[in-house]
Amino acid sequence: MKFYRSHILVGINETSLQAGVEEFLRSLRAELSKHNLQEEVNVLETGPLGFFGRGICLSVYPDNVNYQDVKLDDIPELVEEHFLKGRPVGRLMLDTLGKFTPKFDYQNRIVLRNSGLIDPESIDEYIGTGGYEAWEKVLTQMQPIEIVNEVKKSGLQGRGGAGFPAGVKWSFTAPIDAPQKYVVVNADEGEPGTFKDRLIMEGDPHQLLEGTMICARAVGATKAWIYIRGEYKLCIERLQNAINQCREYGIIGENIFDSGFDLDIEIKIGAGAYVCGEETALIESLEGNRGHPRWKPPFPGVEGLWKAPTVVNNVETLANVPYIIKEGADAYRKRGTPDSPGTKVYTILGDVAHPGLCEVDMGTTLRTIINEHGGGMKKGFRFKAALVGGAAGVFLPEARLDVSMDHSSLKEYAAVLGSGAILVINEHQSIVDILWSILKFFRHESCGKCAPCRNGCQQLYKLITKIKKGNGSMDDVELMLTIAETMFATSFCALGQSPVMVIRSAVEYFRDEFIAITNK
């Protein structure tokens, strides 16, 4: 391997593509060559860098300097100052004060171990980091039942929101004797504020594919579908490229590694419906129907896609699997808490100094995540609340900042870990206003199948609009709670059961705001 003095990691994502990163890369490489630095400084195109800067973002290793919003015109100065003279350009740095550097503890990552470090479009780079070793191991050294047991032992919980143990889910499908079984990857990420799955797929698509393959082998499925939302153009492109590479290398196909096992993976694109994140609605959509959830039981594990046994798993869940197989369930359990082992990927947004992506152990406190990974509050703003888990999540106030972020601890506060979105809200923002935006979202996304959700979401939106306009009373607030609780008890799927949590937390922790606005 060639040795370079410095590496410039360039994040290729939706934002940087829009800012013209392709032309930028050409100019950067040309400028480096002009100074004869092409043998010393390596330019690497990679996925998410871990922070969400503006425009084109760069990370320089080993200097650990992060730049944002770098323009074509900045290239000569950047190359001359930083790479020729060794003086980082302060005005382009992510934090111009240089006081905060996002934590890049790559050694501690499982899901994001390659993200931002390798070229997501190259299968060779993935293999170079030990990729597809777990896949080879399950095909040549393990029985399907051993795979299921290992994942069960690891305690891996679903990372899509509900937190159901993945190994247990697999164990329902594995023993069924059926002519055809399926694995479906739920990449229909639609929870507002959540885009961890997008970044996992953009940054390291092969890891998701490897997890999917292992799952397919464990349950005996010969076909896997990745259901991905239509808006995620770059993910679709990268995953398709990764699948093509796997076919070419014989990593999927017929009689893989002479094991006698066949597997194919195909992508299906969604068309914009939040409810399709619900696994049975997703299956309906895959079959070419409206995304209406199905009655359960039978659960998809027994009767799913085209009535065949089907395992549906979230992207992040499957991306954990190669590590579990390679390093073993015991190694995995060393991370996180006994009840919720492993790590969790979060997107930190809103009024923090450095919105970004992080992967931390389950059980890390909300305070640590916001302060150490998000850089604390944005200068001049005070913390008011964090909306954790997106629209189907809860508001947590300052008094709850030390809550341990794992499934069982959050349950004590009637909160859920949900999708991994943390939206930080400052003291000037109105909880009533944000709740209005959330309930507007639910009204739009209710699929219309069952009456409690169809009518309930509509009524909730009417009431919150009335309250927001200052025409409501505390009776209206109580009525909202009653409606939401009724929806929780009677709705067909999780969508109609969700609004109660966010409304209850808003009213419980920020009652004063509701009193103030209804007394106007």
Partner 1 sequence: MYTEICNKYTPEKHNLIQILHEIQDTHPQHYISAEAVKTVADYLGIAENHIYGVLTFYTMYSTTPRGKNIIRLCESPPCYIKGSQNILRKLKSMLDVQTGETTQDGLFTLELSACLGVCGNAPVMMINDDMYGDLTDERVEEIIEKIRRGNQ
Closest CB 207 distance from partner 1, rounded Å:
19
Q: Which is nearer to partner 1, 45 or 191 (CB)?
A: 191
CA distances from 63 to 6, 7, 82, 301 (A): 8, 9, 10, 49
Kindly calculate the radius of gyration of the chain based on its CA atoms and give it in whole angstroms.
Answer: 24
Q: Which is nearer to partner 1, 214 or 467 (CB)?
A: 467
Closest CB 387 distance from partner 1, rounded Å:
7
Closest CB 320 distance from partner 1, rounded Å:
21
Closest CB 14 distance from partner 1, rounded Å:
4
Q: Which is nearer to partner 1, 131 or 193 (CB)?
A: 193
Half-sphere exposure of 69 (CA within 13 A, CB side): 9
- Exposed / middle / buried, residue 339 (Cβ in 10 Å: 0-12, 13-18, 19+): middle
Q: Which is nearer to partner 1, 170 or 195 (CB)?
A: 195
Q: Helix axis angle, 451-468 relative to 511-518, nearest 10°?
A: 60
Closest CB 242 distance from partner 1, rounded Å:
19
Closest CB 288 distance from partner 1, rounded Å:
4
Closest CB 419 distance from partner 1, rounded Å:
11
Closest CB 233 distance from partner 1, rounded Å:
5
Closest CB 257 distance from partner 1, rounded Å:
29
Q: Which is nearer to partner 1, 318 or 421 (CB)?
A: 421
Token pair belonging to 454: 């169809």
CA atoms of 67 and 63, how far apart (whole Å): 12
Task: Give the phi and the psi of residue 469 in degrees, each rounded to 5.
Answer: -75, -5
Task: With beta carbons less than 8 A apart as the criterion, state whether 191 and 152 touch.
Answer: no
Q: Which is nearer to partner 1, 174 or 517 (CB)?
A: 517
CA atoms of 65 and 192, how far apart (whole Å): 31
Strands (E), 169-251: 182-187, 223-228
Q: Which is nearer to partner 1, 34 or 54 (CB)?
A: 54
CA atoms of 400 and 385, how far apart (whole Å): 9
Q: Which is nearer to partner 1, 254 or 266 (CB)?
A: 266
Closest CB 356 distance from partner 1, rounded Å:
7
Chain length of the chain: 520
CA atoms of 510 and 204, how far apart (whole Å): 40
DSSP 125-165: HHHHTTTTHHHHHHHHT--HHHHHHHHHHHT-B-SSSS--B
CA atoms of 154 and 312, how far apart (whole Å): 19
Token pair belonging to 139: 């095909």
Closest CB 241 distance from partner 1, rounded Å:
17
Torsion of CA 400, 403, 407, 412, to 10 degrees: -60
Closest CB 518 distance from partner 1, rounded Å:
22
Query: Tokens 């490229």 — which residue?
Result: 241
Chain-centre distance for alpha carbon 169: 20
Q: Which is nearer to partner 1, 54 or 511 (CB)?
A: 54
Q: Which is nearer to partner 1, 120 or 356 (CB)?
A: 356
Q: Which is nearer to partner 1, 221 or 434 (CB)?
A: 434
Query: Tokens 């409690």 — which residue?
Result: 452
Q: How, if at all, do strands 6-11 and 58-61 pair? A: antiparallel
Q: Which is nearer to partner 1, 190 or 452 (CB)?
A: 190
Binding site for partner 1 (CB under 8 A): 14-15, 17-18, 52, 54-55, 189-195, 198, 229-233, 268-274, 285-291, 347, 349-350, 355-357, 387, 390-391, 421, 423, 425, 429, 434, 437-438, 440-441, 444-445, 447
CA distances from 231 to 199, 235, 247, 482 (A): 14, 9, 25, 36
Query: Tokens 């006081």 — which residue?
Result: 99
